Amino acid sequence: MKNILNNKKILFIIISIIVILLLCTLIFSRYEVNIVKKKIPYIEDKKNSLSSDINQQELAPENYIASVPIFMYHFILDDYGNNMDVENFMKTSTLEEQIKYIVDNNYQTIFENELDKLYKYTKPVALTFDDCFVYFYNNAFPIIKKYKVKVTLNLIYNYMNGENYLTDAQVKEMLDSGLVSIESHTLSHKELTTLSNDEQRKQILDSKKKFEEKFGVEMSTICYPVGDYNQETINIAKEQYKFGLAMTGGVYHTNIHTDRYKIPRIYANRSMDINTFANYLKQSKVVIY
C-alpha cells in the first residue's frame, strides 16, 4: 500500500515538473516574440536607417500611426505690392530659416506621394507649394537645392506658362533635380463645389492625365482649390488619386484623420515665426506596432 502511495507521489512530481517545464517554454517563447515586436518601434536610431528590413516592407495603415506637419505655402516673395492677402507672401529669408531649422534638427522632408509610406520615416514633414508661381523657381528653388530638401508643387494645368507662372521647362528642370515632385491643383483653380459633376470630373481627372502626359510622372494627389470640396469631389478623386489635400489647419494625424481625401495642412503664412513653426514640427512622429 505504502509503495503504491509512493509511486503515485513520484508520478505526481514528474507530471508537475513536465507541466512547469512546458509552461516555462511557452512563456519564454511568447516573451521572445514580444522582444522582437518591441524592437520595431525603435528604428528611430541615429541613422534613420532606410535599409532596415522592416522599412522595406509595405506596412498596412493599421500597423503604424504617424503625425506629419504638412505646410502649405503660396507666394515666396518679399514684396507683396498692392495685394491685400499679405499673409500669402512668405519672405524668402523666412522660408530659408524654416528649411534650415528642418535640416539642423534632422526632420525628414517627404513628397505628398509618400503620405502612405510614412513608416519609412521617423520625423517626417511635408512642404507643399500651391498655384505654381514663378517666384517659387526664382526664390525657393535655390534654397531647396542648397539644403537638399524635398518639396511638392501643386500645379494648375491651365495656368502654366502664363505671366508670373512656371514654365514647362522650369518644371522639367526642377523634376530632374529629384527634390521636387508635382501634383494636381486642377485645370483652372475653380471652386469645385460650384461645378456640375461633369465639370468637377474634368477639373480633377483631366488635369491628372494632362500633367502625366506632359511630364511623364504619376500623380497621386489632388489639392482642392481654396480647400473647397464636397462628397462628389471625393468620389471622383477616389477613382484615380490616393490622396486629397484640404486646407483645414493643424498637423495630419493618421489615426485621427482616417479619410485620406481630407488631409489637413498648416497655413505657412508671412507672420509665422520660427517658434510656431518648430512647435508644429515637434509633433512629427511615427510609431510602428
* Of 40-48, 96-104, 124-132, 138-146: span binding Zn ion (CB under 5 A): 124-132
* Of 91-99, 125-133, 141-149, 164-172: span binding Zn ion (CB under 5 A): 125-133
To 10 degrees, what angle do helices 207-215 and 168-176 make?
A: 70
Q: Which residues pair with 223 in a beta bridge?
A: 245
Minimum CB separation from Zn ion for residue 75, in Å?
11
Minimum CB separation from Zn ion for residue 41, in Å?
37
* Residue 19 or 226 with smaller CB distance to Zn ion: 226
* Residue 195 or 281 with smaller CB distance to Zn ion: 195
Q: Does 183 bind Zn ion (CB under 5 A)?
A: no
Q: Does 131 bind Zn ion (CB under 5 A)?
A: yes
Question: From residue 179, how far is each of 53, 127, 182 by CA, in Å?
Answer: 25, 11, 10
Closest CA to 187 of 171, 200, 170: 200
HSE-CB for 39 with a 13 A CA cutoff: 9
Minimum CB separation from Zn ion for residue 194, in Å?
15
Residue, CB closest to Zn ion: 130
Closest CA to 155 of 173, 180, 177: 180
Site track for Zn ion across 71-110, x = CB under 5 A: ----------------------------------------
Size of site (CB under 5 A) for Zn ion: 2
Q: Does 130 bind Zn ion (CB under 5 A)?
A: yes
In whole angstroms, give the CA distance from residue 104 to residue 59.
29
The CA dihedral of 7, 10, 11, 14, to the nearest 10 degrees, is -160
Interacting residues toward Zn ion by CB under 5 A: 130-131
